[in-house]
Amino acid sequence: MSILGAVLTGGRSSRFGSNKAIAMLGDRTLVAHARATIAPHCARVVQVGGVDGVPDMPAPGLGPLGGIAGALDYAASHGFRCVLTIGCDMPRLPEGLIEAILRREPSYCQDAPVLGLWPAALGAHLMAHLSLGRDRSVRGWVRAIGAIPIASPEPIANVNTPADLAAL
């Protein structure tokens, strides 16, 4: 298995009001839940963004695409074939969704495009895309590379506010 797992933690958490990656859900942080969700499918899992994570590329502040670019760069330089990314604010996923994403590459969750499988070879393409400075949305990039959208069988729990966390 040559899949690198990457939990994206570099967001501003502006709607949450504090660093949501370290917010607690039960007895674990959100980042720990996300890591545990993808770990069975990956040879290694890293955190991307934040103080102790793999750095966003080419610089911080580019949103999720900067985190994905950092993960792709890390994967390519450490011998991984592809990267499975997840946001730290996605502590639970519907059963079978990751398995469906892993069947094709590049592919992503249609309802939450930060959840996706990306060949490490796409790193150069993403860096070029980011250098253009136009559309820095994940949806814009997945359209540009022709990634395959995978429908989620049910809504995905996404923690953007303290109320979202409390609802879980």
Q: pTM (2 decimals)?
A: 0.95
Residues 6 or more apart whose CB falls under 8 angstroms from that of 136 comprise 62, 63, 65, 130
Confidence category of residue 61, pLDDT binned at 50, 70, 90? confident
What are the strands, taking DSSP E only, across the chain? 3-8, 24-25, 28-29, 44-48, 82-87, 107-109, 112-119, 148-150
Instruction: Report whether pLDDT(96) > 90.
Output: yes
| Higher per-residue pLDDT: 17 or 89 | 89
Answer yes or no: is pLDDT of 134 > 90: no
The widest CA-to-CA distance across the chain, in whole angstroms, is 42
Report the range of poorest mean pLDDT among 24-28, 73-77, 107-111, 158-162.
158-162
Per-residue model confidence (pLDDT) at position 38: 98
Q: Residue 1 — pLDDT band, cuts 50, 70, 90? A: low
Supply the range of the domain harboring residue 62: 3-167
Over the chain, what is the mean pLDDT?
Answer: 93
Structural domain count, the chain: 1
- pLDDT cut 90: percent of the chain above it: 80
Give how far the C-alpha of residue 147 lies from the chain's centroid of Cα atoms, to the nearest Å.
15
The answer to whether residue 108 scores a pLDDT higher than 60 is yes
For position 106, which CATH number holds?
A: 3.90.550.10
2 has pLDDT over 70: yes
Confidence of residue 117 (pLDDT cuts 50, 70, 90): very high
